Amino acid sequence: MANFLNNVLFIFQRFNWLSVLDILLVTLIFFMVLYSLRDTQAMVLLRGVIFLVVALVLLTTLVELPAFSWLVRNSLPALLLSIPVIFAPEIRRALERLGRAGTFTITSNAKRPSSVDTQRVIRAIVEASARLSARQHGALIVVQRMDTLGQYIETGVPMQAEVTPELLLQIFYPDTPLHDGAVIIAEGRMVAAACVMPLSASGVLNPTPERQMGLRHRAALGISEVSDAVSVVISEQSGSISISNAGRMIRRIDPERLENILAAFFRPDTTTPQRIWLKRFFPYLFQQKDE
């Protein structure tokens, strides 16, 4: 006990502000890795890797196994090289968020629609969503925020039309040429329809059979994972309304709540540049407050 206390005292005697910075940097790295892997299949894989490493360490330290220890030591470099391959999608997503966060000074000064236009667009989306939900017509509406969706707009049919409930209802009427795919709204205008969205590869929609969703919901979640866009999706099976942002989805909401959430997302942003940077790199930390 005395030796343990002496060791602890020795550590605290060497503790300085550089040690605090060192610990904070290591903590930040672990936090960013775990945050990037949240609600993904990679998290399950990471737990398996941690369990395997702990088991190997215990086995090689508690039991004298020279041949097995040699194999583990020589296999470790190969395992380290395989980590970027295994976690490639998550690493790419984290780098994309870092790149988008670095452009806040440019995008924050971009042209934005007026508050009147924003309210008009929100009301049109809410009214169309309510009527589509009542008719059980599937729909996917993606609203651009600061991140440009140009590459996805190019996959659809150009529109450049005013956002109205009637036009949205016509587009998503079953068996019409434009009902498959997403409508993208940018700067208060409906810029394209029948756009192809990236599908989510995360496990957010698969915890239980009850929450399994179709391609529209995966597309809504997917575009929110690669950009800061807000997507509204109406289920063709149940008519339920869902909204997705920052890799998270809120399901089974009524039109009134949908309007409140959209108004919170698109209210004028008066935050400081530092807060904008944090909001763009860690969007989910601010999502619940915005809702």
Please give the residue range of the domain that contains residue 254: 112-290
208 or 72, which is more confident? Answer: 72
Task: Please check whether residues 192 and 272 belong to one and the same domain.
Answer: yes
- Whether the per-residue pLDDT at 108 is higher than 50: the answer is no
pLDDT band at 96 (very low <50, low <70, confident <90, very high): low
- Whether the per-residue pLDDT at 10 is higher than 80: the answer is no
From first CA to last CA, the distance across the chain in angstroms is 52
- Whether the per-residue pLDDT at 286 is higher than 60: the answer is no
71 or 287, which is more confident? Answer: 71
Task: Please check whether residues 93 and 159 belong to one and the same domain.
Answer: no
pLDDT band at 28 (very low <50, low <70, confident <90, very high): confident
Q: What is the pLDDT of residue 84?
A: 74
Task: Please check whether residues 155 and 75 belong to one and the same domain.
Answer: no
215-226 and 88-101 are packed helices; what angle lies between their axes, rounded to 10 degrees? 50
Dihedral, CA atoms, 258, 259, 261, 264, nearest 10 degrees?
Answer: 170
Length of the chain in terms of residues written: 291
Q: Three-state SS for 224?
A: helix
User: CA-to-CA distance for 175 and 149, rounded, in angstroms?
Assistant: 26
> Could you tell me if 205 and 102 are in contact, meaning their C-beta atoms sit under 8 angstroms apart?
no
Q: Tell me the average pLDDT across 111-131.
A: 84
Q: Tell me the average pLDDT across 111-130.
A: 84
Q: What is the pLDDT of residue 269?
A: 55
Task: Please check whether residues 161 and 97 belong to one and the same domain.
Answer: no
Looking at the DSSP assignment, which residues form a beta bridge with residue 243?
232, 250
pLDDT digits (tens, 9 = 90+) for 134-143: 999 999 999 9
Q: Three-state SS for 250?
A: strand
Q: What is the pLDDT of residue 241?
A: 95
pLDDT band at 74 (very low <50, low <70, confident <90, very high): confident
Task: Please check whether residues 154 and 269 belong to one and the same domain.
Answer: yes
User: CA-to-CA distance for 32 and 34, rounded, in angstroms?
Assistant: 6
CB neighbours of residue 52 within 10 Å: 11
Task: Please check whether residues 168 and 276 belong to one and the same domain.
Answer: yes
Task: Please check whether residues 42 and 160 belong to one and the same domain.
Answer: no
Choose the final residue of a domain: 105, 136, 168.
105
Task: Please check whether residues 96 and 166 belong to one and the same domain.
Answer: no
Q: Tell me the average pLDDT across 51-68.
A: 79
Task: Please check whether residues 122 and 219 belong to one and the same domain.
Answer: yes
- Whether the per-residue pLDDT at 276 is higher than 70: the answer is no
- At 27, give phi and psi (nearest 5°): -60, -40
Which of 62-70's residues contact partners 24+ apart within 8 Å by CB, and which partners? Answer: none
User: CA-to-CA distance for 261 and 231, rounded, in angstroms?
Assistant: 11
> Could you tell me if 206 and 212 are in contact, meaning their C-beta atoms sit under 8 angstroms apart?
yes
Choose the final residue of a domain: 74, 105, 136.
105
Look up residue 157 and give its two tokens.
């049919």
Count structural domains, the chain: 2
Task: Please check whether residues 176 and 278 belong to one and the same domain.
Answer: yes
User: CA-to-CA distance for 233 and 241, rounded, in angstroms?
Assistant: 6
How many CA atoms, within 13 angstroms, populate the side-chain half-sphere of residue 232? 30
Task: Please check whether residues 101 and 122 belong to one and the same domain.
Answer: no
Q: Is the pTM of this model over 0.75?
A: no
> Could you tell me if 179 and 171 are in contact, meaning their C-beta atoms sit under 8 angstroms apart?
yes
pLDDT band at 90 (very low <50, low <70, confident <90, very high): low
- Whether the per-residue pLDDT at 97 is higher than 90: the answer is no
Q: What is the CATH number of the domain that holds 206?
A: 3.40.1700.10
Average pLDDT of the residues of the chain: 78
User: CA-to-CA distance for 35 and 32, rounded, in angstroms?
Assistant: 5
pLDDT digits (tens, 9 = 90+) for 185-204: 998 999 999 999 998 866 55
Q: Tell me the average pLDDT across 271-289.
A: 49
Task: Please check whether residues 123 and 247 belong to one and the same domain.
Answer: yes
Percent of residues, the chain, with pLDDT higher than 70: 71
User: CA-to-CA distance for 186 and 148, rounded, in angstroms?
Assistant: 9
69 or 286, which is more confident? Answer: 69
User: CA-to-CA distance for 24 and 283, rounded, in angstroms?
Assistant: 21
- Whether the per-residue pLDDT at 260 is higher than 80: the answer is yes
Burial 2-20 (b: 16+ CB within 10 A, else e): eeeeeeeeeeeeeeeeeee
Choose the final residue of a domain: 105, 132, 163.
105
User: CA-to-CA distance for 217 and 42, rounded, in angstroms?
Assistant: 20
Look up residue 30 and give its two tokens.
């672990």
